Structure 1
Amino acid sequence: MANTPYPESYYAASANAVPPRPALQDDVETDVCVIGAGYTGLSSALFLLENGFRVTVLEAAKVGFGASGRNGGQIVNSYSRDIDVIERSVGPKQAQLLGQMAFEGGRIIRERVAKYNIQCDLKNGGVFAAITAKQMGHLESQKRLWERFGHTQLELMDQRRIREVVDCDQYVGGMLDMSGGHIHPLNLALGEAAAVESLGGTIFEQSPAVRIERGANPVVHTPQGKVRAKFIIVAGNAYLGNLVPELAAKSMPCGTQVITTEPLGDAVAKSLLPQDYCVEDCNYLLDYYRLSGDKRLIFGGGVVYGARDPANIEAIIRPKMLKAFPQLKDVKIDYAWTGNFLLTLSRLPQVGRLGDNIYYSQGCSGHGVTYTHLAGKVLAEALRGQAERFDAFADLPHYPFPGGQLLRTPFAALGAWYYGLRDKFGY
């Protein structure tokens, strides 16, 4: 049987030690079968186990193999489309409920880290950096919007103030969110998986779901076994493939690239980011960066539509890093990798139910670290019969990409090119 290891990355190289997990080689029965051991699946499993469900998790590769173990590691609030956009689309009542949930994911992460003693280099503080006056105006509006929904840990920063937290002369100002922050994403996933097992949940690795037999008691088939359950949660996101065709039709895997420097040492690291906050700029095709626990700079950006792996990741991302920090021109890059996220046309997550007993959440559109933790709680609530918050997401309108799967990649790339020009010329 194929054994899929983690891709080479800084996170895989610095992951906490965990015991090997077996592949499913038998027939098992459970209350809930979760497909995917990333954040959505692990968060769902934890909330369900805490509420007395029996849970079995199937992972095609290893815990956190996908976006959960490869992302930029930034705790960023709200959704890929903010609450005002949602309000214009669905009206104030539904937007009010979604707005109240927009800041919950980060709290869930911190609760998990504290409750289960997860070692993942958790640091507080995230910066949105404005490159233009127009972007600064957007941040001022965003602060007012978020404060409408009770989120008050925000500080607007002028040009002088932002230079105190990031040694980069590109920015005219920014906004600091002290409820944001950053983590070692793979170690967070591994810690959550250990928590699942501590509560009696079972995780099978190297056990891809190859077929779902739908019905009153659905069955998930793997190459060497099967799981019969009362409910299924589909949490594969960009790595689900065509297991559920109706989900694949309204989403598109996209790749983002990340590089990690050699260790910089305390003095250089502190000169770049004195308070150890993470940073993302306000461009449509944004750059994001932070320090690791051992004082490396982790820098990401760029989007590859259709999730192809670029031939030379360092050639794409290093120039972006040097534009922000030219003082790092002689620094060696130790790791470079890509990972996929799932994009929807609306850039809002897709949540729903197929039949009576197959639930899903997907399509975080690059904003998944916090949302996926919220999604796990919302899915668990729905399985317990408390569906109001689930329905608020499920009722969001979603549409297929123009031209279907054949043309979705060129259309999306054309849109990104347009917005990239707007970023470049400051519109």
Structure 2
Amino acid sequence: MLRLHKCIVAQLLPHASAISPLHRLLSAAATPARRISPNPSFVVDDYLVSACGLTRAQALKASPKLSHLKSPAKPDAVLAFLAGLGLSAADVATAVAKDPLLLRAKVEGTLAPVVDGLTGLGLSRSEVARIAVLVPGKFRCRSIVSAVHYYLNLFGSMDNLLRLLKRGFWLQGSDVERVVKPNVAFLQECGLHDCDIAKLCIRVPMILTINQQRLRAMVACAKALCVPHGSGMLRKALQAVGFCDEEKITAKVEYLKKTFRWSDTEVGIALPKNPMVLTYSKDRLQRVSEFLISEVGLEPGYIAHRPALLAYSLDGRLRPRYYVVKFLKENRLLHGDRDYYSAVAVTPKVFMEKFICPHKEAAPHLAEDYAAACRGEVPARFRFT
């Protein structure tokens, strides 16, 4: 055991002159007498600062949860274990500040089996270390292994799960059976495929935790937006209504009708095709409306049938491509039935291939002018009176 501590300390000490409180702790922890004998001078606040790297304010907040500790024996063992797992001194400070009770965990009875269980699922030790830092309170519970196993299958990858953990998402293992699985089963009944459910839950993790009555109300709201049961757009509709109550949705629909001059029929055409329009800010919608209707000259019905227009960046896509199309038409270089939407909807690569490259000889500065327009400039050649 002494040799193991020396190895750990050697790996954590790149420079002999720069010894952190955690390093001193690990060296001290190698002394058997220190580990088994109560220390009458042991002060939890001081230990949290000197050994764990917490600020004094963090230590004062955390110490009541560890008031029963009379010696550093158990926390020493936990810190040595975390260091061996690969946590840096900063990681340890973060984990302990989030969950001081981590220092009371049993290394052999809890932490080691948890690490074995998680690596048995295919996680690397660095991924296990990230979980320990992000959710230390759950890391000291052996039920975390079954929970991670379920969420890995649900979200499809460890990267997706880590993204959610960084955003504060987590559920107790018991909630998987009681809440999560019934909600997932209901979404499947609604016609969503597993990949759609994963994408939805990553975007709106609360959908896993809400009671099923509220979930059913969300689905009903999505269907009320003219999104049919089982439609591929149902996922996006649920994502759109996930943060809004019925009153807010009604108000946003009315704003869309007013801003884009849509009738009830036209708004009923637009929303099923792009329900995410409900999440766009009023300022963005107002600016796009003024550009598409007043400057480009599009009819409200044209926009309603192509609501994807509202998803594109005004300054990075809608406006620059409009300048190119207008330039080509003014110079009689645009042939066929290519309209504005056909220029906006294609990828940047395809746009260059179809609208820029074919005109290198007739308009040698077109690519340069388009690049300038994407930067927010309006080249002289794009100005027509």
With normalisation by structure 1, the TM-score equals 0.20
* Bigger Rg, structure 1 or 2: 2
**TM-score, normalising length: structure 2:** 0.21
Which protein is richer in strand relative to its size? Answer: 1
Greater relative contact order (Cα 8 A, min sep 6): structure 1 or 2? 1
